[in-house]
Amino acid sequence: MSLLAGCSGPSKETNTNGDAASGTQKESTESSEAGGGGEFSYPMTSGKTLTYWTGLNGNVSANFSNLGDTPFAKAWMEQTGVQIEFQHPPAGQDQEQFSLLLADGNLPDMIEYPWMTYPGGPEKAISDNAIIPLNDVFEKYCPNLMAYLKANPDIDKMIKTDDGNYYVFPFIRGDESLCNTIGLMLRQDWLKELNLEVPTTIEEWHTVLTKFKEEKGATSPFTFEYTMPVLTEENPFAYAYNTSKTFYLNSDGKVHFGAVEDGYKQFLTTFAQWYKEGLIDQDLATLGKDQVSAEMTNGSSGATIGWAGSTMGVLIAAATATDPNYMLQAAPVPTLKKGDFPEMGQIENRYPNQGGVAITTSCKDIETAARLLDYAYSDTGHMLFNFGVEGESYTMVDGYPTYTDKVMKNADGWPLAQSLSAYIRGNYNGPFVQDKRYLEQYYTIDTQKEANPIWGKHNGKAHKIPPITPTSEESQEMSVIMNEINTYRDEMALKFIFGEESLDKFDDYVKTIEGMGLDRALEIENAALERYNSR
């Protein structure tokens, strides 16, 4: 295998300029400098081995016990000349094992983690002597990432602390089309059979769910994985009332907390009524992925919330094995009035606090670690992380990196997500720029391909809080306040929906949350936002 498989161009390190995700990267003839002198090229000849701690993605662990065993990792090591010893916590124990790792103090060279969730934030991780600031490291050893950040100042702003410290080799969604990933979906075949249009308003959704119950025998017309926090936070039915269950950016430019607003009360009122009418799964509070999947494929349910790949694609594949007419259709964020454009909706920041890698204070060879990670932001590394190895997992067809049958039609019957994950990291995350061309092929069904654009028709970007970072003191105070508020909010939300508590008590609920320190939490959030805007 060529050490630079998948890319043409010179073997020396090249810089990435422009929009990597759109396939419009430009190579610079500028050579990088190794510690201030001479040209640098891959593969490195140091023969070094570095340690790298990360959770193992479920689509990888289905077939590999270690990321290092995948064709992707083997190619990364061969192309860079660095051996990587991957260390993985047991599944589901990432946070617990991360805390134990820090307490031990004997850290691996690199740690992949959502660093904005570090207690006290990334700056605290630096002051705790857990990770190193990367400003000088980027300047000396990372021409590819620096070129990308220079060309994308909005991203550059996102991956710094308020003190101006870079702290992570980031995961970046290379195009906004990759940021709308969650939304409503429902049985397209049922809609056709019942002569119904895709619902766009709350009233139309009520009609559709009622028809599903009465004419299709659905015992839980609408169901979703309520125990998955992101799905409850990104509930499109709440967005219909121009609110959220958590913090959001209001039109006044300030951070607000949606769960105490009148719009949230209206959302809860609607859900409580639907629950009473049997339109919402009666086991809502305990619903997990397996239960939702079963109900969506056996005819018990006709609508849910999820992702176009891991939800819509998986459900369609499972259901069509016994019902060839089964099909799911994406639905837009609903509004209250027909024809209105949704003001709010799900959207991620292009730096979504996933897959970022920090270099720890235990690392003895910072240059090698930095150049290993910087490789992913070069043209050749970009292709590897998003498409794999040319001639194996993809070929160039009219200038377009096209996945091969080895990936798309796996001989061992692996689902596409698992097959891709053996060769790339493009279909989940990691320290690289995600390419939208991966997604164009990952979605193989027409309704999947239509989903993200449908879910993205809203003004949600205006209400998305950027990756702000409270100070360590603020973060600790915020944690105490919001743990109490969020626990109470979630308990009361279910009580209101289930009718165990009258929504006449909503004002009392709001006063209770305010008494828990909401004003202080908002003060902290807005101070952090002001600092972010001043970066």
SS3 at position 303 = strand
Cα(198)–Cα(332) distance, integer angstroms: 9
Of all residues in the chain, what percent carry a pLDDT higher than 90?
Answer: 88
- pLDDT, one tens digit per residue, over 26-76 is 333 333 433 444 578 999 987 899 999 999 999 999 999 999 999 999 999
Q: Do domains 16-176+351-434 and 182-346+449-533 have the same CATH topology?
A: yes
- pLDDT, one tens digit per residue, over 157-203 is 999 999 999 999 999 999 999 999 999 999 999 999 999 999 999 99
Q: Which helix (H) or strand (E) holds 331?
A: strand 328-331
Return the domain boundaries, the chain.
16-176+351-434, 182-346+449-533
In whole angstroms, what separates CA 267 from the centre of its chain?
A: 25
527 pLDDT higher than 80? yes
- pLDDT, one tens digit per residue, over 332-363 is 999 999 999 999 999 999 999 999 999 999 99
16 pLDDT higher than 70? no
Q: What is the pLDDT of residue 38?
A: 52
CA–CA distances in Å: residue 486 to residues 272, 353, 512, 514, 525: 20, 21, 12, 12, 15
SS3 at position 41 = strand
Angle between helices 366-374 and 143-151 (to 10 degrees): 50
Out of 1.10.599.10, 3.40.190.10, 3.40.50.1220, 3.30.1330.10, the CATH code matching 16-176+351-434 is: 3.40.190.10
Cα(387)–Cα(380) distance, integer angstroms: 10
What's the sign of the alpha-carbon dihedral 51, 467, 349, 480? positive
**Are residues 294 and 274 in contact, defined by beta-carbon separation less than 8 angstroms?**
no
**Token couple for 181:** 């990933």
CATH topology of domain 182-346+449-533: D-Maltodextrin-Binding Protein; domain 2 (3.40.190)
